[in-house]
Amino acid sequence: MDDATNPFPEITARPGRRAFLKTSLGTGFALAVQPVSAQTITTPPAGLTAGEVKLPSLGVEIPAYRAMPAAGGPFPVMLVVQEIFGVHEHIKDVCRRFAKLGYYAIAPDLYARQCDATKADIKTILTDIVPKVPDAQVMADLDATVAFAKASGSSDVSRLGATGFCWGGRIIWLYAAHNKDLKAAVAFYGILGGKASPTSDLKPKNPIDIGATITTPVLGLYGGKDDNIPEPMIEEMRGELQKAKSPAEIVIYPDTPHGFFADYRPSYRKAAAEDAWARLQVWFKEHGVV
Residue 269 pLDDT > 80: yes
Give the pLDDT confidence score for residue 255 in this predicted structure. 95
Sign of torsion, CA 258 263 268 272?
positive
Residues annotated as catalytic are: 166, 226, 258
Q: What average pLDDT does this structure show over 7-25?
A: 63
* Confidence band, pLDDT 50/70/90 cuts, at residue 1: very low
Query: Which residues does 8 contact at the CB level (< 8 Å), separation at least 6?
Result: 135, 139, 174, 177, 178, 204, 205, 210
Q: What is the pLDDT of residues 236-260, one digit of tens each?
A: 999 999 999 999 999 999 999 999 9
Residue 2 pLDDT > 60: no
Query: Which residues does 265 contact at the CB level (< 8 Å), separation at least 6?
Result: 33, 37, 259
* CA 83 to the chain's CA centroid: 7
Q: Which amino acid is at 268?
A: Y
Q: What is the pLDDT of residues 54-107, one digit of tens each?
A: 999 999 999 999 999 999 999 999 999 999 999 999 999 999 999 999 999 999
Q: What is the pLDDT of residues 151-206, one digit of tens each?
A: 999 999 999 999 999 999 999 999 999 999 999 999 999 999 998 899 999 999 99
Give the pLDDT confidence score for residue 283 in this predicted structure. 98
* Confidence band, pLDDT 50/70/90 cuts, at residue 18: low
Report, in this order, helix, strand and coil percent for the chain, each rounded to 5. 35, 20, 45
> Please, what are the domains in the chain?
31-286 (3.40.50.1820)
Concatenate the DSSP letters of all residues of 136-163 into one string: HHHHHHHHHHHHHHHHHSSEEEEEEEEE
Give the pLDDT confidence score for residue 13 in this predicted structure. 47
* Confidence band, pLDDT 50/70/90 cuts, at residue 8: low
Residue 15 pLDDT > 80: no
* Confidence band, pLDDT 50/70/90 cuts, at residue 19: low
pTM of the entire structure?
Answer: 0.94
CA distance 192 to 206: 6
Strands (E), 44-179: 48-57, 60-69, 75-81, 104-108, 155-165
Q: What is the pLDDT of residues 92-151, one digit of tens each?
A: 999 999 999 999 999 999 999 998 999 999 999 999 999 999 999 999 999 999 999 999
Query: Which residues does 47 contact at the CB level (< 8 Å), separation at least 6?
Result: 69, 70, 100
CA distance 269 to 253: 10
Give the pLDDT confidence score for residue 147 in this predicted structure. 98
- Cβ pair 136, 144 in contact under 8 A: no
CA distance 63 to 53: 6
Q: What is the pLDDT of residues 213-223, one digit of tens each?
A: 999 999 999 99
Q: What is the pLDDT of residues 224-233, one digit of tens each?
A: 999 999 999 9
Residue 12 pLDDT > 80: no
CA distance 231 to 277: 21
- Cβ pair 189, 259 in contact under 8 A: yes
